[in-house]
Amino acid sequence: MSMQRYAIFLSGPIGAGKTTLGRALATRVGGSFIDGDDHADPDLPWYGSILCTSRSVVREGFSLLAERPYLVVAYPLRCSDWIFFRRHFGDDGVRPIFVSLRASYERIVDAGRGRVFDTEEHDRIRVMLAEGYGERGFSDLIVDTDRESFAETLDELETKLSGFMAA
């Protein structure tokens, strides 16, 4: 019997912690990490870039899952992305888990978090929050990233995921 493989998607608005938490989580669980933004094609229209990115994440994801049972993907998801990833990974026996990272605008842009955003990013953060990227209805788990320290947030994420995977 083969070991269960997992593709853990961290979604949320810009600055919610997808990449930082994703890298740390992958390290902690002995998994691989993909930053979806690294697969985007800025020369394509948004709808073409999303499809190109999604296909690339699936290709690289399966390659990485051949080596390790956990894959962590940082990428803001729309419902169509959820369907795409659920289908492509799930049909091959990989258990996808979708986690929304929720944070307030004030906390995301707080200078103490160490990230500076340009005007366009500020606008996009507001839009993404209004569109519900921090608490998607299709999420298996929702984790608040603006209430505790990074270490505590990572611990909470790992604990929630462990409980979810054990169920």
Question: Residue 84 and residue 128: Cα distance in Å, rounded?
Answer: 20
Let me know if domain 5-166 sits in CATH 3.30.365.10: no
DSSP string, 44-81: S-HHHHHHHHHHHHHHHHHHHHTT-SEEEEE-PPPHHH
The average pLDDT across 76-80 equals 94
CA 103 to chain centre: 14
Tokens representing 2 are: 């083969």
What is the percent of the chain where pLDDT is above 90?
81
For residue range 96-149, list pLDDT tens digits in order. 999 999 999 999 999 888 889 999 999 999 999 999 999 999 999 999 998 778
Question: Residue 76 and residue 37: Cα distance in Å, rounded?
Answer: 9
Q: Where are the domains of the chain?
A: 5-166
Angle between helices 46-65 and 79-90 (to 10 degrees): 30
pLDDT at 2: 55
Measured in degrees and rounded to the nearest 5, phi and psi for residue 129 equal: -65, -45
Q: Please name which of 92, 40, 82 lies closest in space to residue 61, comparing C-alpha atoms.
A: 92
How far CA 99 is from CA of 7, 43, 63, 135, in Å, comes to: 11, 29, 22, 9
